Amino acid sequence: GNPANPAPGYNPNPGYAPGYNPPPVYPAYDPYDHTAEFDPKDISENKVICMLVYLAGYIGILVALLMSSSSKYVAFHVRQALKIEVVTMLGAIVTALLFWTVIVPIAAGILAIALFVVKIICFFQICSGKAKEPAIICNLKFRK
């Protein structure tokens, strides 16, 4: 049919009265998504280095800082990876101090698995060129 003259009884918005146009649906605002703050060229040039930050821990962080210290995108991911590594280290220290209890080592194991999953999620977000603060860690504001 002709789009300017649709068939009789045609309703382009099923579930609504004919002639009613529902308001547009915008994507939800994510306060932890900082992708728009970075230059797309910076993102594309430094994806591999940012992946290394999450894959290689402290060594990856050092390599990233040495290889591209001027990139704001790399600096963002270095901050996020440092947060993850600090939480991991604190969990290890608490576990070492309270290893004789049963609940602390179990909780530390769950935390370690959760942080590993967060690293994997961050890795795949870098693959798609995003700069999102990781879950769990996003509420830590010890380093801006």
Q: Are 116 and 135 in contact (CB under 8 A)?
A: no
pLDDT tens per residue, range 10-44: 766 677 777 777 788 887 888 888 899 999 999 99
pLDDT at site 99: 85
pLDDT tens per residue, range 34-83: 899 999 999 999 999 999 999 999 999 999 999 888 899 999 999 999 99
Would the CA dihedral through 115, 120, 126, 131 be positive or negative?
Answer: negative
pTM of the model: 0.75
CA 102 to chain centroid, in Å, comes to 32
pLDDT tens per residue, range 97-132: 998 888 989 999 999 999 999 999 999 999 999 999
Residue 83 neighbours by CB under 8 Å, 6+ apart: 134, 137, 140, 142, 143
Rounded to whole angstroms, the Cα distance separating 33 from 46 reads 18
Q: Which DSSP symbol is given to 5? A: B
